[in-house]
Structure 1
Amino acid sequence: MKKLLFLIWALAASWAGFANDNRFSFNSGNWETGTTKPVVENYLGQESLYLERGHVLYSNQEMQDGILEVDIAPDPARGMAGIVFRHDGKNNYEELYIRQGKSGQPDAVQYTPVFNGSSSWQLYAEHQAKHVFRPNEWIHLKIEVQGTLARVYLDHSDIPSMVISNLRQGSKSGKFGLWTLNGARFSNFRFTPLDPTTAPTGSIVPDVAANVVKSWQVSPSFLVQDVQVEKWPKLHQLTWETLPTDAQGLLNIAQYRSKREAEAFERNTDDMVWVKLELQSDKEQVKKLYFEYSNKAHLLLNGAPVFFGDNSFRAKNGMYRGEIDKQLRTNAVYLPLKKGQNTILVALASRANGWGLMARFEDMNGISIK
């Protein structure tokens, strides 16, 4: 009898902080709030946690695979709110959120990995979904995570609104919690662990176009105001690190370089890196290079500027999103190559929402990448 009572007590203790059916209490004291100041209050008939900005993490448990659920009431005009998971306790995590003000539009639901504190949604436009939100009601968000696969469900539907087949943080364990940009209330937060051994193997990645550049040499990062990007840098004074692209050919700079300020969005610092590609050409010729980037890019060939573009959020008008086209169909530059060695340099700058590039040659006849 004593053993039975001890077992019951142990089980109860292990679930401290939970309410019924795996719900987490916001009054448990198990939430890491940092500089944010959440408020527990009643809203639309439910106990809720109000966050003005930032995220809170649950401190007593980590997840590798599992089901995360929460009811959300974001600011109806500007609200962006959702769940973070596989958080390393620093600045690297997965982020999934809803945008009530975008109800009925293709980007009402968004996923982005966050590397070194930088959100990169402009680089992952394929992970967005349309949804119509009912006004003045709780929005139910559910994420089922297994390995590098995630399924996203809204408002108790059995049909996923979005399937993410290659989570960019991999299948590591990490913390989980809640996030908002412009104010939101959260209620009925739940976590149900899943057995990692049942996770699907491998990721489904779209086919990569031929002749895509698969690695680049990248310098340390600089503040833009410290660099005259129109001028040829002193290459011997720079150090270079060869970095691979992902399976689609995208190099997300934020995965490898930190910005001075990354979490204030349009109030961030302007940071840049030099990106280098060295080519060998067997003759003088002109090659067409399809090129995508975020946010701003100066491209130089053998010291001469040949391209500048600004793909920043709202750079062209108030509705311009600045997402890159991973099919590499929209931007191209013609490169007058000389016989022998040629050096392509890109001054790639970012303020917010994405810091990356990808490129492919129309053909590789007579050229090779060193």
Structure 2
Amino acid sequence: MKKLFVFLWSLVISATAMASEGKFSFNSGNWAADGEKTKVEKHLGQESLYLQRGHLLYQEAEMQDGILEVDIAPDPARGMAGIIFRHDGKNNYEEIYIRQGKSGQPDALQYTPVFNGSSSWQLYAEHQSRQVFKPGEWIHLKIHVQGALAKVYLDHSDTPAMVIPNLLHGSKGGKFGLWTLNGAHFSNFNFTPLNPASAPTTTVSTDLPANAIQRWQVSQPFLVKDVQPESWPNLQQLKWETLPTDAQGLLNIAQYRSKQEAEAFESNTDDMVWVKLELKSDKEQTKKLYFEYSNKAHVLVNGQPIFFGDNSFRAKNMIFRGEIDKNLRTNALYLPLRRGSNTILVALSSRANGWGIMGRFEDMTGISIK
């Protein structure tokens, strides 16, 4: 995150009304911003803060569990804006936001965890919701957070617009604030703390698909421009770390590796890691590996390139989102294995929106992962 500057923003909130509702609120507070073109002004009849781009973090309190609310008026074209919470000060946090330009589409409301500054929404398409926003009106966003569970409400509805049963950063506390990509007005921000002891227990399935890969070896990161991914890498220069997948079989690389520039979206640096899987085969054979990745992947088997694919946002057309298929139904590799040891290498690169890999074998007959 860029160097922070601190300013005071006076929020117009009725202290008496908030106290009667038992909410923690503030009439003014210290905020830290890394954003652009910040100004306080009247908008749609309400006192508001306009932020062109970036983040605002409230400095005088942290939250573990609680209710966050704000009125948002994004810029109508490509406006994306929302709430960030459980921010650890090191660019790891939860993010829930609305996309007014996507009104009526399946991704109008989104959740993504942010690891090391990298948004990962292409890896979590299950946390999106089709919503319709009225143009030229305030959108009320409310997030109820307890433990690893978050419920998202829009425009004072009692019915959740989205339920997230497994917040990826778990239940730890952190700072909270606001975020926008292409400009938004914010008004009437409220925070109500909740007792963490009352947090419900959420159940997330840990039943991986049969023959799912549950660990990968991952190298240190490189800039793509410094590597020729189609060629055999110098293995002696690579430092391997064995990393586990999550409960769905996904390995989010950004959780463990940092990009050189992660917060400028399509203007980010193009970073890559080598991902390795070592197999032992009892004979020469071909094995089918169902395979998903984001954004780009070069695959080598025993030094020979067999595949290249590009799932980047808009790589195939202007509406291509590049989301991965966690059911592993749409892509497969046929791996030519020799008897004995085999090395599968993937040059996995990402510029923005997701950096991950997952796979499962059709069957494991005659092979084992070393």
- Bin the TM-score by the shorter chain: over 0.9
Aligned to 1:226: 226
Give deviations 1:303-342, integer Å, cap 9, x for gaps: 0011110000000001100000000000001011111111
Residue 193 of structure 2 corresponds to residue 193 of structure 1: yes
Maintained 8 Å contact 2:297/2:309: yes
Aligned to 1:110: 110
Instruction: Please give the alpha-carbon distance, in whole angstroms, between the structure 1 residues aligned to 2:141 and 2:284.
Output: 57
Instruction: Please give the alpha-carbon distance, in whole angstroms, between the structure 2 residues aligned to 1:262 and 1:254.
Output: 10
Aligned to 2:170: 170
Maintained 8 Å contact 1:153/1:161: yes
Instruction: Please give the alpha-carbon distance, in whole angstroms, between the structure 1 residues aligned to 2:12 and 2:58.
Output: 10
- Flag as ranges the 4+ runs of structure 1 deviating above 6 A: none
**Structure 1 residues 124, 29: CA separation in 2 closer, same or farther (over 3 Å shift)?**
same
Deviation of 1:36 after TM superposition, in Å, equals: 3.7
Report the identity percentage: 76
Instruction: Please give the alpha-carbon distance, in whole angstroms, between the structure 2 residues aligned to 1:206 and 1:314.
Output: 32
Matches within 5 A, 1:229-244: 229-244=229-244
Maintained 8 Å contact 1:281/1:340: yes
Residue 135 of structure 2 corresponds to residue 145 of structure 1: no
The letter of the residue matching 1:87 is H
Maintained 8 Å contact 1:291/1:331: yes
The letter of the residue matching 1:62 is E
Give deviations 1:186-226, integer Å, cap 9, x for gaps: 11111101111111124323743111100000000000011
- Where 1:266 maps in the other structure, the secondary structure is helix
Maintained 8 Å contact 2:24/2:192: no
Instruction: Please give the alpha-carbon distance, in whole angstroms, between the structure 2 residues aligned to 1:190 and 1:346.
Output: 46
Matches within 5 A, 1:164-313: 164-205=164-205, 207-313=207-313
The letter of the residue matching 1:277 is L
Maintained 8 Å contact 1:31/1:57: yes
With normalisation by structure 1, the TM-score equals 0.93
- Using the TM superposition, name which of 52-61 and 32-41 deviates more: 32-41
The letter of the residue matching 2:319 is M
Instruction: Please give the alpha-carbon distance, in whole angstroms, between the structure 2 residues aligned to 1:125 and 1:207.
Output: 19
- Using the TM superposition, name which of 29-38 and 219-228 deviates more: 29-38
The letter of the residue matching 2:314 is R
- Using the TM superposition, name which of 201-210 and 288-297 deviates more: 201-210
- Where 1:32 maps in the other structure, the secondary structure is strand
Instruction: Please give the alpha-carbon distance, in whole angstroms, between the structure 2 residues aligned to 1:61 and 1:218.
Output: 37
Instruction: Please give the alpha-carbon distance, in whole angstroms, between the structure 2 residues aligned to 1:110 and 1:346.
Output: 29
Maintained 8 Å contact 2:30/2:58: yes
Maintained 8 Å contact 1:41/1:50: yes
- Where 1:30 maps in the other structure, the secondary structure is strand
Instruction: Please give the alpha-carbon distance, in whole angstroms, between the structure 2 residues aligned to 1:156 and 1:313.
Output: 33
- Where 2:28 maps in the other structure, the secondary structure is coil
Aligned to 1:326: 326
User: Structure 1 regions of 5+ residues with no counterpart?
Assistant: 1-15
Give deviations 1:7-40, integer Å, cap 9, x for gaps: xxxxxxxxx9975214755x72411113544211
Aligned to 1:32: 32
Deviation of 1:137 after TM superposition, in Å, equals: 1.0
Instruction: Please give the alpha-carbon distance, in whole angstroms, between the structure 1 residues aligned to 2:111 and 2:264.
Output: 18
Instruction: Please give the alpha-carbon distance, in whole angstroms, between the structure 2 residues aligned to 1:201 and 1:131.
Output: 28
Matches within 5 A, 1:3-22: 19-20=14-15, 21=18, 22=23
The letter of the residue matching 2:152 is V
Aligned to 1:128: 128
Give deviations 1:227-260, integer Å, cap 9, x for gaps: 1101011112211000001110100000110101
Instruction: Please give the alpha-carbon distance, in whole angstroms, between the structure 2 residues aligned to 1:17 and 1:154.
Output: 21
Give deviations 1:88-110, integer Å, cap 9, x for gaps: 11210000000111111110000
**C-alpha RMSD of the superposition:** 1.5
The letter of the residue matching 1:365 is T
Instruction: Please give the alpha-carbon distance, in whole angstroms, between the structure 2 residues aligned to 1:29 and 1:139.
Output: 23
Instruction: Please give the alpha-carbon distance, in whole angstroms, between the structure 2 residues aligned to 1:318 and 1:59.
Output: 39
Aligned to 1:55: 55
Aligned to 2:3: none
Aligned to 2:157: 157
Maintained 8 Å contact 1:17/1:30: no
- Where 2:122 maps in the other structure, the secondary structure is helix
Maintained 8 Å contact 2:221/2:257: yes
Maintained 8 Å contact 1:81/1:97: yes
Count of residue pairs the alignment pairs up: 354
The letter of the residue matching 2:264 is A
- Where 1:126 maps in the other structure, the secondary structure is helix
Maintained 8 Å contact 1:278/1:369: yes
- Where 2:197 maps in the other structure, the secondary structure is helix
Aligned to 1:358: 358
Instruction: Please give the alpha-carbon distance, in whole angstroms, between the structure 2 residues aligned to 1:202 and 1:132.
Output: 29
Maintained 8 Å contact 1:24/1:188: no
Maintained 8 Å contact 2:288/2:334: yes
**Structure 1 residues 96, 170: CA separation in 2 closer, same or farther (over 3 Å shift)?**
same
Maintained 8 Å contact 2:251/2:358: yes
With normalisation by structure 2, the TM-score equals 0.93
The letter of the residue matching 2:317 is N
Deviation of 1:80 after TM superposition, in Å, equals: 0.2
